[in-house]
Amino acid sequence: MVEPSKIKILVLDDDTFMLKLLSKMLLKQGFTSVSVHDNGRDALNQVDDVAARPDLILLDLNMPEMDGIEFVRYLVERDFDGSLILVSGEDERMLKTTEKLVRAHKISILGYLHKPVKPDTLAALLKKWSQPVKPEAAQKIKKKYGVDAVRAAITEKQLVNYYQPKVAVTNGEVIGVETLVRWLHPEDGLVAPDQFIATAEAHGLINDLTRLVLTGALEQASIWQQSGLTLRVAINVSMDNLASLDFQDLVVELAAKYKVLPKYVVLEVTESQLMKDSRVPLEILTRLRLKRFHLSIDDFGTGHSSLAQLRDIPFDELKIDQGFVHRAWTDETLRAMYDASLALARQLDIEVVVAEGVEDQDDWNFLRRTGCDLAQGNFISKPMRAADFSAWLQDWRKRIQDTRIVVDT
Ligand code: C2E
Ligand code: CA
Ligand code: CA
């Protein structure tokens, strides 16, 4: 057991009386490294400070500005690898649901505490605290790259497009692909996008990056077209791409150059980014939609969009976040999120619903039972180089013959 005084604990609650009470209890139990915050922003500042990053956060769910669930989303964005204890006056069901949501985000959770908090329940939960398992955790900590390296990767064209198929759930037909960028690093090998996209966004490099990805994707789409394969090609668009009208012109121009019809170009924007921003991005999206490019709302379920916000933009596609797809067949909370997303999409007349993160036959069977349109995930194929696509396609067509994929079980 680690010395209690070595564990950095952060307590977040808008109620200052609770903060005092909890920190007193913690001190009494030997946890001397405790900091308290009454709002999410201050707490996140501490999480961002490497030296002060807490090992454990006691999180109140109901807070007036940033609530506990929103706070968890920011922790996910920051790859928070500590643990959480939820504290709330809410009823048992609410706490349980939130606990499952947190777990779906792969954040470690020790459990939850009802208010008023009792010292021995707190002590029992704290006993469960253990340091992140070292070997695995060490592997999980991914190297992040600095701005100069990322800039060089773009100018030296070290970025490569991978493509992951989206297939129809009813008959397995391949409808499109999502373009996922990778960095072929001269020393480190293949580097995943979450290790450099944020840097590109933060330093004004995302437009150059997206231009490269889009050009490659459209060129590839035209190659596929010429070989008789018409695929909808999706790319991921960052909010910063939508800050100027240049982006719209670029999309129009490149689609014309490679002779790809707008309806075969899908622009994926994540739900959480969409809700943050103001009018310009919405205007550009709407204009692209008017020109018949397809718009997709990505990672659905992880942001907090309202019905009105969703109605404002005519999306063609909604992608249910993988956190709510894999294992939804066996987990009530995931299932509830999945069902709600599907129902919402239908209500809004969104034409296509895609389930992401389909990892196994059970997930696939579940989609078939629930009437989702398209599926994407490792069960169908991992993202691959364009050169491997036709071999995969042949193999997939053979797999479709396998009754377990498209015939009801
Ligand atoms: P995303 O758009 O949600 O993409 C799906 C991610 O899920 C991909 O990760 C994909 O490899 C992964 N995935 C696919 N199937 C499965 C599965 O069955 N199980 C699991 N656990 N994961 C699966 P990847 O390629 O690492 O991309 C991560 C994120 O980086 C993407 O999330 C996207 O937001 C961003 N990204 C990728 N390419 C670009 C790009 O060109 N521009 C921008 N702005 N963002 C990009
Ligand atoms: Ca995406
Ligand atoms: Ca996604």
The protein residue with its alpha carbon nearest to ligand 1, atom 7, reads 357
Report yes or no on 360 lying in a domain.
yes
Instruction: Report pLDDT for 277.
Output: 59
Domain count, the chain: 2
Distance between Cα 95 and ligand 3 center (Å): 26
> Which atom of ligand 1 is found nearest the CA of 193?
30
| 252-301 tens-digit pLDDT | 999 999 999 999 999 999 887 877 656 678 889 989 999 999 999 999 98
Question: Of 106, 104, 108, nearest to 59 (Cα)?
Answer: 108
The pLDDT, as a whole number, for residue 138 is 44
Q: Is the CB of 180 under 6 A from ligand 1?
A: yes
The pLDDT value given to residue 264: 98
* pLDDT band of 405, cuts 50, 70, 90: confident
In terms of residue numbers, what domain contains 249?
Answer: 147-402
Q: Assess if residue 408 is contained within a domain.
A: no
Residue 141 has pLDDT above 70, yes or no: no
User: Is 156 in the same domain as 107?
Assistant: no
Phi, psi of 5 (to 5 degrees): -70, -15
190 and 334 in a single domain? The answer is yes
Q: Reduced to 3 states, what is the DSSP secondary structure of residue 232?
A: strand
Helix (H, G, I), strand (E, B) or coil at 369: helix
Judge if 166 and 128 occupy the same domain. Answer: no
- Identify the CATH number of the domain in which residue 271 sits: 3.20.20.450
> Which of 136, 167, 197 is the endpoint of a domain?
136
**More confident call, 91 vs 224:** 224
Residue owning the nearest CA to atom 3 of ligand 1:
299
- Do 75 and 206 lie in one domain? The reply is no
Distance in Å, CA 280 to ligand 1 centroid: 25
Q: Are residues 385 and 281 in the same domain?
A: yes
**Residue 217 and residue 82 share a domain:** no
Nearest to 384 by CA among 75, 118, 177, 97: 177
CB of 159 sitting under 6 A from ligand 1: no
Q: Is the CB of 357 under 6 A from ligand 1?
A: yes
Which three-class secondary structure state does DSSP give residue 179? Answer: strand
* Residue whose CA lies nearest to ligand 1 atom number 22: 357
Domain closes at, from 115, 136, 157: 136
Cis amide prior to 116 (ω within 30 degrees) = yes
Distance of CA 107 from the midpoint of ligand 1 (Å): 19
pLDDT at 136: 46
Contacts of 17 (CB under 8 A, 6+ apart): none
325 within ligand 1 shell (Cβ under 6 A):
no
Is a pLDDT exceeding 60 seen at residue 140? no
Cβ contact 322:356 at 8 Å: yes
- Mean pLDDT, to the nearest integer, of 177-197? 95
Query: At CA 115, angle to CA 113 and CA 116, rounded to 5?
Result: 115
Q: How far is the CA of 299 from the centre of ligand 3 (A)?
A: 4
Alpha-carbon distance of 270 to 321, in angstroms, equals 10
Domain assignment present for residue 44? The answer is yes
The share of the chain scoring above pLDDT 70, in percent, equals 95
What is the CATH classification number for the domain harbouring 21? 3.40.50.2300
* pLDDT, tens only, 295-334: 999 999 887 777 777 888 889 999 999 999 999 999 888 8
Looking at residue 78, its pLDDT comes to 86
Name the closest-CA residue to atom 43, ligand 1. 236
pLDDT per position as a tens digit, 15-68: 999 999 999 999 999 999 999 999 999 999 999 998 899 999 999 988 888 888
Residue with tokens 């196994």: 360
Mean pLDDT of 386-402: 94
Contact 11, 37 (CB under 8 A): yes
Ligand nearest to the CA of 269: 2
Q: Do 315 and 168 share a structural domain? A: yes
From the CA of 180, how far away is ligand 1's center (Å)?
Answer: 6
